Amino acid sequence: IKKFVGKAICFSSHDEAVEAIDNHTVREGHVVVIRYEGPKGGPGMPEMLAPTSSIVGRGLGKDVALITDGRFSGATRGIAVGHISPEAAAGGPIGLIQDGDEIIIDLTNRTLDVNVSEAELHARKQNIEPFKAKVKTGYLARYTALVTSANTGGILKVPDE
């Protein structure tokens, strides 16, 4: 498959997506969008093998795509784009995608596009809820506050004083 065009079905966690795939909410022609699973959102950028395995296990490996700010290992099968950066928790555009948006994955041209106008994306950005960290105390809270998105290495970066 060199190109996939489908309608977004959005989830804010790995677990929500797996449940929807397993209960047949996800159907042929969907692009499963899993956000808030990057370094900051996860926290820690968890593996996304279960959703892709569920898609392939249901026989939808050529009919459903998946995009995420989460991480894949080498075991992923099907149409999957991961490590999307900047991640949703850092204000990345994956957080602006809504159910029903047309998504185009073009492997030949190495592009991933959402067929939504810049004006609409700008309006969505103005109305998006700020990210709320899952962990509020301890090391993971500090990690969440300091970690960068995958495109900059998912490193801890102390703000300039």
Active site residues: 73
Upper half-sphere CA count for residue 64 (Cβ side, 13 Å): 26
Structure tokens given for 87 = 């991640």
Q: Are strands 65-68 and 79-81 parallel, antiparallel or unpaired?
A: parallel
Query: Which residue, among 106, 41, 101, has the nearest Cα to 71 in the 3D structure?
Result: 41
Other beta carbons within 10 angstroms of residue 13's beta carbon come to 17
> How far is the C-alpha of 75 from the C-alpha of 79, rounded, in Å?
12
Upper half-sphere CA count for residue 158 (Cβ side, 13 Å): 1
